């Protein structure tokens, strides 16, 4: 007899970045030489001092349940880091922090805590693959704002104003953005803040997971606007900046104590607490020297320059140079749909990329340059070779 699958699960899509990565791994396992540009995962090793902290945690028996919102010293370190962000005007305390199993779980927790069935959530697109699916799981309605290539795929204040209704309960914004690498300027953020002033019931969920990985622009945090403090949720974690994707430590910050307590109550039923050893490693990452972050940022900047130079040589590729994160988002509409191009690249060039349809932009593809320069060179060579579309 077939086991029942809940309707809410059947209604959500699989993560396309993970699907493509799985296909690439399967092809590699069968002996095919695939260059994977699918996952947003740094290829560097976790810095030594962080690994040692994890090892010491094991030896010191950090093997028991911990506090649901996270270890107090890690929560204090998170608050201190956010207080050190340039332009920050909100004073964060350890009590404003909840540590979770990765930034993804923190986002999911915030959405499930805030959104009732029928509530509208505004998401500028292209956007990360999981935001919309999480909103659907909460019973919310996704209000997608289609951004324009000419605006570097950044939502304008005018677009936000048109999308807001009395049913709007949340705005999700990611800057630096996945998948585009675009960054909202301070002026653009101020314009968005001005629009939101007339909608005091709208929660702002600001995903700042790529904030440390910027190049020729500085990312402005929503924590620069203290007028939004009572309805702001900041999301971050150690995955991208410290090459700690597998440690699964992320967090949310909010000054709204009632909302935070509700998130903690939900997390207590979801997962009890984040892994204790990983929390100890995350604290070492935040409290230790940040030189390792700068080294990785410089490496990504060099890779960005290389992939952009090579992509300019490929007919039919149209893109803006990314200002942050480690993705190149390419409009391939002169060649075909993003799905068609991605499929052909995987099957013929043996290069795995994510189709833009996964991010709400079907005319594009996303290439991750979180791989070595040699792999970037080889991937772009293969793409160019089959470029007679």
pLDDT digits 0-9 by tens, 75-101 = 999 999 999 998 999 999 999 999 999
Given a cut of 80, whether residue 387 has pLDDT beyond it is: no
**Phi first, then psi: what are they for 377, rounded to 5°?**
-60, -45
Distance in angstroms (rounded) separating the CA atoms of residues 366 and 280 = 34
Given a cut of 90, whether residue 367 has pLDDT beyond it is: yes
Residue 12's pLDDT is: 81
Distances in whole angstroms, Cα of residue 325 to Cα of each of 115, 174, 298, 318, 380: 28, 11, 12, 19, 19
pLDDT digits (tens, 9 = 90+) for 220-242: 999 999 999 999 999 999 999 99
pTM, two decimal places: 0.95
pLDDT digits (tens, 9 = 90+) for 119-130: 999 999 999 999
Q: In the predicted model, what is the mean pLDDT of residues 320-331?
A: 98
Distance in angstroms (rounded) separating the CA atoms of residues 160 and 163 = 5
Q: Are 341 and 317 in contact (CB under 8 A)?
A: no
Q: In the predicted model, what is the mean pLDDT of residues 161-174?
A: 98
Distance in angstroms (rounded) separating the CA atoms of residues 304 and 322 = 8
The mean-pLDDT minimum among 9-13, 135-139, 141-145, 284-288 falls in 9-13
Output 40 or 203, whichever has higher pLDDT. Answer: 203
Q: Place 32 in a pLDDT band, splitting at 50, 70 and 90.
A: confident
Distance in angstroms (rounded) separating the CA atoms of residues 336 and 270 = 43
Residue 121: beta bridge partners? 142, 170
How many H-runs (helices) and E-runs (strands) does the chain carry?
A: 13, 12
Q: Are 275 and 228 in contact (CB under 8 A)?
A: no
Distances in whole angstroms, Cα of residue 146 to Cα of each of 122, 126, 150: 11, 7, 12
Task: Give the containing element (helix H, strand E) for 110.
Answer: helix 102-114
Given a cut of 80, whether residue 52 has pLDDT beyond it is: yes
Q: In the predicted model, what is the mean pLDDT of residues 64-68?
A: 97
**Phi first, then psi: what are they for 167, rounded to 5°?**
-95, -5
Residue 204: beta bridge partners? 171, 232
Strand-strand pairing, 354-355 and 97-100: unpaired
Residue 389's pLDDT is: 55
Residue 21's pLDDT is: 81
Residue with tokens 């690249």: 345
Given a cut of 80, whether residue 196 has pLDDT beyond it is: yes
What angle is formed at CA 154 by the lines to CA 151 and CA 158, rounded to 5 degrees? 85
Residue 86's pLDDT is: 87
Six-digit token string for 89? 């005007």
């Amino acid at each position: 007899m077939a086991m029942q699958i809940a309707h809410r699960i059947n209604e959500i899509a699989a993560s396309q970045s993970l699907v493509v990565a799985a296909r690439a791994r399967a092809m590699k396992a069968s002996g095919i030489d695939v260059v994977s540009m699918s996952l947003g995962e740094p290829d560097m090793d976790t810095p030594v001092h962080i690994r040692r902290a994890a090892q010491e945690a094991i030896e010191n028996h950090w093997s028991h349940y911990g506090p649901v919102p996270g270890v107090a010293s890690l929560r204090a370190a998170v608050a201190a880091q956010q207080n050190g962000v340039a332009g920050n005007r909100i004073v964060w305390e350890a009590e404003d922090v909840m540590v979770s199993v990765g930034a993804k779980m923190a986002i999911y927790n915030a959405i499930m805590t805030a959104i009732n069935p029928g509530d509208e959530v505004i998401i500028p697109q292209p956007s990360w693959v999981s935001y919309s699916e999480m909103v659907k799981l909460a019973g919310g309605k996704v209000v997608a704002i289609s951004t324009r290539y000419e605006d570097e795929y950044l939502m304008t204040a005018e677009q936000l104003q048109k999308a807001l209704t009395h049913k709007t309960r949340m705005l999700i914004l990611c800057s630096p953005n996945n998948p585009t690498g675009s960054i909202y300027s301070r002026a653009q953020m101020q314009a968005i803040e001005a629009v939101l002033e007339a909608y005091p019931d709208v929660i702002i969920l600001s995903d700042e997971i790529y904030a440390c990985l910027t190049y020729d622009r500085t990312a402005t945090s929503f924590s620069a606007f203290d007028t939004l403090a009572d309805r702001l949720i900041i999301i971050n974690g150690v995955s991208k900046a410290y090459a700690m994707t597998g440690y699964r430590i992320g967090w949310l910050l909010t000054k709204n104590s009632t909302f935070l307590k509700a998130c903690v109550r939900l997390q207590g039923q979801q997962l009890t607490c984040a892994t204790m050893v990983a929390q100890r490693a995350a604290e070492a990452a935040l409290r230790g020297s940040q030189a390792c972050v700068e080294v990785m940022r410089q490496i990504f900047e060099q890779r960005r320059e290389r992939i952009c130079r090579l992509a300019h040589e490929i007919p039919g590729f149209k893109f803006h140079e990314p200002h942050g994160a480690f993705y190149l988002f390419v409009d391939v509409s002169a060649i075909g749909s993003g799905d068609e191009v991605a499929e052909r690249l995987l099957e013929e060039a043996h290069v795995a990329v994510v189709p833009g349809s996964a991010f709400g932009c079907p005319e594009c593809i996303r290439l991750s340059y979180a791989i070595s320069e040699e792999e970037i060179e080889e991937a772009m060579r293969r793409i160019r070779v089959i470029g007679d579309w």
